[in-house]
A and B are shown apart, each in its own frame.
Chain A
Amino acid sequence: MKILVAVKRVVDYNVKVRVKADNTGVETANVKMSMNPFDEIAVEEAVRLKEAGKATEIVVVSIGPAAAQETLRTALAMGADRAILVQTDAEVQPLAVAKTLKAIVANEQPGLVILGKQAIDDDANQVGQMLGALLNWPQGTFASKVVPGDGSVAVTREVDGGLETVELKLPAIVTTDLRLNEPRYASLPNIMKAKKKPLETVDPASLGVDMAPRLKTLKVVEPPKRQGGIKVGSVEELVGKLKNEARVI
């Protein structure tokens, strides 16, 4: 079974983002960029399935600027076999991402597509589910366990009340949650090897997908700042404040 994994280049999760002075977005120039953490988990899961003999090839795909090649190389260093970059500098919204991935799926014919549940920049949490709808494939979102079987895959999902397990017919979509695995660090020899693995660049126009944004961002502002409070010296003082000042207990 071939596995397709989608990855996104985002502002590193440790960076404290700043809103641009003209309120058009957040500052991304000279900011550390990394693979979206949920996508690292997706790559790791694919690599583990291949190591367990459940997958034959891992193709990793990204949609974004030329610099997203670095993100793809990271995935190759973790163990993916081949990479595709749909190169564009334009803003690509989740529906357009899903449509682009549908075109890639038509070419690649994977048995499983694994994606991060959410990118930590736009926090949309949409692409996997949308791709499922466009392909009419089942989806196992927010996965904490993935067990491929014969013609199906069992996915345990992190839901509001706890855990839920569903069985999906293959081919299927899986989106990853935090507890699925702990992604490996690529070793230096693997980073060197990854430089020689194939990375194909695709012009989005060649896929015939309508990528025009449907949402217009009118402005981006900082959230209201929370005023820092006070330090109390004892539990007794704390209880007093909560009872008499804040009146919440």
Chain B
Amino acid sequence: MNILVIAEPSTGGVKAPTLTTLGAAAKLGGSVSLLVVGPGGAEAASVAGVAKVLSADGAEYAHPLAENVAPLVAKVAKDGGFGHVLFPATTFGKNVAPRVAALLDVQQISDITAVESADTFQRPIYAGNAIATVQSSDPVKVVTVRGTAFEAAAATGGSASVESVSGTGDAGLSKFVGQELTKSERPELTSARVIVSGGRGMQSGDNFVMLDALADKLGAAVGASRAAVDAGFVPNDYQVGQTGKIVAPELYIAVGISGAIQHLAGMKDSKVIVAINKDEEAPIFQVADYGLVADLFKAVPELTQAVG
């Protein structure tokens, strides 16, 4: 069985979502090729469990536009006779994978959380309130992989061969104009060991400074609920939830978050959940291992002191 894994594009080393997608590939078993779109092909050769790195480093892949990347992936999948094409369920993977599936005339399987066999997978539906087991009848399985559900492959220890591949050039349909990326020295949300997350109860963006201070003490990432993002307290990439980022850290500290099901869908697989909320009826307490009914404006600075 030949499996093609598409790496999360990166300008600085192999990204965590690539490693967890490789973890899902390992569950399938078979020879794994890793397609690196853009720079980083040579670095990826050291990832454990990869037989071959396919590097597509043409100028048209400097920014991973779906219109250019999808035909490339479809071509590589066909040429290599791959039975599985796995993407990380990141905004990159979610953007490109369905376009590849449609080019190959197959029904994609989104956001898998378990591999039962070569054609059967588990995936959450209804914001994770139900888990469906689905079986594909398509010759090629195009899959996106939920990173929190699989163990990451080791970033070192492998010695894959590196081969250059090319696609079909620039489709001429789209252009990259610019980006505003949130700059942070903290770990990324999707791979952080600890996350401190704020909700509507934070009352303003300025008050997130309190969470930043706590996060810095704990080496944590800072996240938010949809309510806090919609209110403009923090940028969109902070959002944890059904349609935002799915996280499962060792410790998730929810501050001033009521716990709507859409938010719980994004964090309820965290190992330990702490909730700090002044409303003791807040649904977040139903999933919290440790709940503290308190005024967050007192409790958070106190907590920051205490963990120092």
Contact = CB atoms under 8 A, between A and B. Distances in A.
Contacts, number: 260
In the A-B complex, the 9 residue pairs with the closest CB atoms: A229-B289, A129-B98, A214-B107, A133-B102, A130-B102, A138-B173, A126-B98, A138-B174, A162-B181
Given A134-B102, A216-B137, A164 B274 contact: no
Interface residues of A, number: 79
A232 B177 contact: no
Contact of B288 (A132, A229, A248): A229
Contacts of B172: 169
Interface string A148-159: 000000100111
A223 interface: yes
Given A120-B242, A126-B108, A242-B290, 20 more contacts: A26-B125, A94-B98, A129-B95, A132-B67, A133-B101, A138-B66, A138-B67, A161-B179, A164-B176, A169-B173, A214-B106, A218-B120, A219-B132, A228-B286, A229-B288, A230-B290, A231-B291, A231-B292, A234-B292, A236-B306
B245 A160 contact: yes
Interface of A: 11, 13, 16-17, 19, 26, 38, 93-95, 98, 117-118, 120-134, 136-139, 141-142, 144, 154, 157-169, 177-179, 213-223, 226, 228-232, 234-236, 238-239, 241-242, 246, 248-249
Contacts of A98: 102
A178 B230 contact: yes
Chain A interface, DSSP helix/strand/loop, else mixed: mixed
Given A95-B106, A154-B177, A217 B91 contact: no
B101 to A, nearest CB: 7
A131 B98 CA distance: 9
B95 A165 contact: no
Nearest to B236: A158
B175 A118 contact: no
Interface in B194-215: 194
